[in-house]
């Protein structure tokens, strides 16, 4: 795209190489950096593991003599990020209530002097602290992490975030970058509105996480479920995983059953003493506990990149939460598995919660979409991505529906009928009205709206209401249209839908037969995970990483991610230069670790070359 690289590009990619050890930006990262460096506001949507942090960390290093503030909702998240930055040689610190006021003061003074480049802070402290500095023009950028917390439409609303609404009014000249991994269109627009950044540019990368295999298992309960889970864990020997449960007591019951079967499992929920929680988290991150049975309290702020699988013991209450939870698996990009158990009993329980919640209409609708996902006959990844308004037109080949597809037929004409009916109502009708129109109903409200006069009125009279409902649902899941919750649940045709209507793109639907098909979980063999490289070398590298981490008092992944260890095991560097040019190895880490890692490899080479010389 660009011709000669600009000066900014050269400086930004120099930092990427020097501190992070990466050679290329991921999609959008550089565009985002450039945009805020030119003073623009930005809303950044990337999936978990997509690489959001770099988008504000590199500007922080580029902005000479200024400090970048990062608003973050959780202390554990802040600590994690600060540790990671320090390990790369980037000066950063957190201001929070766990340190003395003197310590906090000192940090702020150091930021003022330009010694600290990034400060992590909670939303409630931001406005009191930011005050004096911004006047002195010391702040170059404000990044708001987990920005969906500001929206009541989101699934994780935090009242303390609402304080941020005044930020832009008070400091119009400081660029604001809002970042999140979960936001449907409604939440997305609300983030802009709440932060008062109407002109912010939206940067949305694909939410696809193709390495996570998606599976749903219906109507299994009790002992049979426990046995299935135990069998699953057995097939994933030595791999870390999380089992999400709805209630505190079920985390404990399940953990104790698994322990009884000889599985290294622990329960985790918000009701445990803080010390216990910290201890369990640490042991999980250090690979000393293999399985955590947890409520949704577990996971936010845990940046463990080698979680290999996530099981949902029950259906979650909405797709945003589900996607975030399964997103904790496979952050290193290697194969990971998501398995969700679903029963109609889950729906009944969740419905009563949703009805009692403050936002019952929205929550019921979100629950319905979750249930539709669970019962789907459409590729599950297509459903998830269209839910996040992403156009994704092929089957993924890595979900249980794709592995076990139902019989499909060419439904292009049916889809065109439905889409045309939606358009002809001026996109002012809900699902039921559209079906009524298609079936030629003479209901009073249809006549009152004049919809009995539409050209599409009655074109689909030969299909039953149930059949149309099923097909409409599949079309929604494929992303042909969308439901506008904030506008009376009216249906809106997407660009993809327009292409079907006007450009004849073909649509395949699963044949509807009365009585649902139950999806069968079929697991792929795991040989993709076992690459050719030598497992014994990898485990020695992990031991070395663990020893270094223990000595430094940080988590192993702060030293190197699993992915980097895999690269080391494959490339087997034996010199400083070879080591220093590997993926994920920046200058500081080269200097700190090259001796230990290359000498381990030399030793390993010696031990393993000898037998081959015996021929």
- Residue 392: φ, ψ to 5°: -145, 105
Q: How is residue 555 written in tokens?
A: 């988590």
| 58: contact with Zn ion by CB under 5 A | no
Residue 396 near which of ligand ADP, Zn ion, none (CB within 5-8 Å, type-dependent) = Zn ion
Tell me how far, at minimum, the Cβ of 556 lies from Zn ion, in Å: 33
The SS3 assignment for 311 reads strand
| 478: contact with Zn ion by CB under 5 A | no
Q: Scanning residues 179 to 218, which ones bind Zn ion (CB under 5 A)?
A: none
**Whether the Cβ atoms of residue 373 and residue 380 lie closer than 8 Å to each other:** yes
> In the set 15, 32, 46, 258, which binds ligand ADP (CB under 6 A)?
46
Tell me how far, at minimum, the Cβ of 122 lies from ligand ADP, in Å: 18
Residue 457's CB is within 10 A of a number of other CB atoms, namely 20
**Whether the Cβ atoms of residue 148 and residue 191 lie closer than 8 Å to each other:** yes
Residue closest to ligand ADP, measured at CB: 51
Tell me how far, at minimum, the Cβ of 125 lies from ligand ADP, in Å: 21
Tell me how far, at minimum, the Cβ of 40 lies from Zn ion, in Å: 37
Residue 54 near which of ligand ADP, Zn ion, none (CB within 5-8 Å, type-dependent) = ligand ADP
> Which among 44-52, 315-323, 402-410, 495-503 is the span making contact with ligand ADP, rule CB under 6 A?
44-52
> Which among 132-140, 357-365, 375-383, 496-504 is the span making contact with Zn ion, rule CB under 5 A?
375-383
- What x/- string results for residues 3 through 22 when contact with ligand ADP is judged by CB under 6 A? -----------------x-x
**Whether the Cβ atoms of residue 538 and residue 567 lie closer than 8 Å to each other:** no
> In the set 28, 60, 374, 379, which binds Zn ion (CB under 5 A)?
379
Whose CA is closest to 320, among 490, 474, 149? 149
> Which among 47-55, 158-166, 267-275, 337-345 is the span making contact with ligand ADP, rule CB under 6 A?
47-55
Residue 461's CB is within 10 A of a number of other CB atoms, namely 11
| 48: contact with ligand ADP by CB under 6 A | yes
Distance CA 305, CA 140 (A): 30
Residue 134's CB is within 10 A of a number of other CB atoms, namely 17
Please, which residues have CB within 8 angstroms of residue 518's CB and are 6 or more apart in sequence?
218, 219
Residue 48 near which of ligand ADP, Zn ion, none (CB within 5-8 Å, type-dependent) = ligand ADP
| 89: contact with ligand ADP by CB under 6 A | no
The smaller minimum CB distance to ligand ADP, of residues 84 and 292, is found at 84
- What x/- string results for residues 519 through 558 when contact with ligand ADP is judged by CB under 6 A? ----------------------------------------
Residue 46 near which of ligand ADP, Zn ion, none (CB within 5-8 Å, type-dependent) = ligand ADP
| 68: contact with ligand ADP by CB under 6 A | no
Residue 230's CB is within 10 A of a number of other CB atoms, namely 18
> In the set 19, 36, 53, 79, which binds ligand ADP (CB under 6 A)?
53
Count of residues binding Zn ion (CB under 5 A)? 6
The smaller minimum CB distance to ligand ADP, of residues 11 and 26, is found at 26
Residue 493's CB is within 10 A of a number of other CB atoms, namely 18
Q: Give the ranges where 208-337 is alpha helix by DSSP (H).
A: 222-235, 248-260, 274-285, 319-326
| 511: contact with ligand ADP by CB under 6 A | no
Whose CA is closest to 43, among 165, 164, 170, 187? 187
- Looking at the DSSP bridge assignments, the partners of residue 492 are 482
| 366: contact with ligand ADP by CB under 6 A | no
The SS3 assignment for 456 reads coil
**Whether the Cβ atoms of residue 386 and residue 392 lie closer than 8 Å to each other:** yes
**Whether the Cβ atoms of residue 431 and residue 551 lie closer than 8 Å to each other:** no
- What x/- string results for residues 383 through 412 when contact with Zn ion is judged by CB under 5 A? ------------xx--x--x----------
Q: How is residue 331 written in tokens?
A: 């952050």
Dump strand ranges (E) for 181-239.
Answer: 201-204, 212-218
> Which among 50-58, 146-154, 256-264, 590-598 is the span making contact with ligand ADP, rule CB under 6 A?
50-58
**Whether the Cβ atoms of residue 248 and residue 293 lie closer than 8 Å to each other:** no
Distance CA 178, CA 508 (A): 38
The smaller minimum CB distance to Zn ion, of residues 394 and 506, is found at 394
- The residues binding ligand ADP (CB under 6 A) are 20, 22, 24-26, 29, 46, 48-54, 561
- The residues binding Zn ion (CB under 5 A) are 379, 381, 395-396, 399, 402
């Amino acid at each position: 795209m660009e011709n000669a690289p600009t000066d900014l590009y050269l400086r930004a990619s120099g930092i990427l190489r020097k501190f992070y050890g990466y050679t290329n930006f991921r999609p959008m990262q550089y565009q985002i950096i450039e945009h805020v460096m030119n003073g623009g506001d930005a809303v950044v949507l990337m999936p978990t593991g997509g690489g959001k942090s770099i988008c504000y960390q590199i500007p922080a290093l580029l902005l000479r003599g200024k400090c970048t503030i990062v608003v973050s909702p959780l202390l554990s998240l802040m600590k994690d990020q600060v540790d990671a930055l320090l390990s790369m040689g980037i000066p950063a610190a957190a201001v929070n209530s766990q340190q003395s006021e003197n310590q906090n003061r000192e940090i702020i003074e150091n930021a003022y002097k330009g010694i600290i480049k990034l400060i992590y802070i909670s939303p409630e402290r931001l406005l009191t602290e930011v005050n004096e500095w911004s006047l002195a023009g010391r702040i170059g950028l404000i990044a708001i992490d987990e920005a969906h917390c500001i929206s009541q439409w989101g699934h994780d609303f935090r009242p303390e975030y609402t304080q941020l609404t005044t930020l832009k009014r008070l400091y119009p000249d400081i660029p604001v970058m809002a970042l999140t991994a979960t936001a449907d269109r409604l939440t997305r627009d609300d983030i802009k509105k709440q932060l008062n950044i109407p002109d912010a540019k939206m940067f949305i990368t694909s939410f696809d996480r193709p390495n996570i295999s998606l599976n749903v298992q219906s109507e299994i309960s009790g002992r049979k479920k426990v046995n299935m889970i135990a069998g699953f864990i057995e097939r994933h020997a030595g791999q870390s995983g999380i089992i999400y449960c709805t209630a505190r007591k079920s985390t404990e019951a399940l953990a104790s059953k698994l322990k009884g079967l000889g599985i290294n499992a622990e329960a985790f929920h918000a009701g445990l003493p803080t010390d216990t929680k910290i201890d369990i988290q640490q042991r999980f991150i250090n690979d000393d506990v293999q399985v955590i049975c947890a409520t949704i309290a577990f996971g936010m702020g845990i940046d463990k990149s080698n979680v290999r699988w996530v099981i949902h013991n029950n259906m979650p209450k909405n797709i945003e939460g589900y996607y975030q939870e399964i997103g904790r698996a496979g952050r290193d990009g290697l194969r990971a598995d998501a398995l969700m158990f679903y029963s109609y009993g889950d729906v009944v329980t969740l419905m009563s919660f949703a009805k009692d919640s403050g936002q019952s209409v929205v929550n019921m609708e979100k629950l319905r979409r979750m249930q539709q996902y669970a019962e789907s006959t459409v590729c599950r990844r297509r459903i998830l991505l269209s839910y996040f308004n992403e156009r994704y037109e092929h089957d993924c080949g890595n979900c249980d529906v794709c592995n076990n597809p139902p019989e499909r037929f060419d439904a292009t004409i049916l889809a065109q009928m439905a889409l045309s009916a939606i358009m002809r109502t001026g996109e002012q009708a809900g699902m039921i009205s559209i079906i009524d129109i298609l079936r030629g109903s003479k209901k009073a409200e249809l006549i009152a709206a004049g919809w009995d006069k539409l050209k599409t009125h009655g074109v689909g009279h030969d299909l039953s209401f149930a059949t149309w409902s099923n097909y409409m649902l599949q079309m929604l899941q494929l992303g042909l249209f969308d439901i506008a919750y904030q506008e009376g649940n009216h249906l809106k045709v997407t660009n993809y839908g327009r292409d079907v209507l006007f450009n004849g793109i073909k649509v395949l639907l699963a044949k509807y037969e009365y009585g649902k098909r139950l999806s069968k979980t079929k697991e792929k063999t795991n040989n993709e995970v076992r690459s050719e490289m030598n497992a014994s070398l990898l485990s020695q590298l992990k031991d070395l990483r663990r020893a270094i981490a223990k000595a430094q008092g940080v988590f192993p992944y702060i030293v190197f991610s699993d992915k980097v260890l895999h690269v080391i095991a494959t490339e087997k560097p034996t010199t400083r230069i070879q080591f220093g040019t590997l993926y994920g190895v920046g200058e500081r880490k080269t200097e700190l670790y090259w001796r230990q890692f290359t000498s381990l490899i030399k030793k390993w080479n010696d031990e393993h070359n000898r037998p081959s010389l015996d021929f």
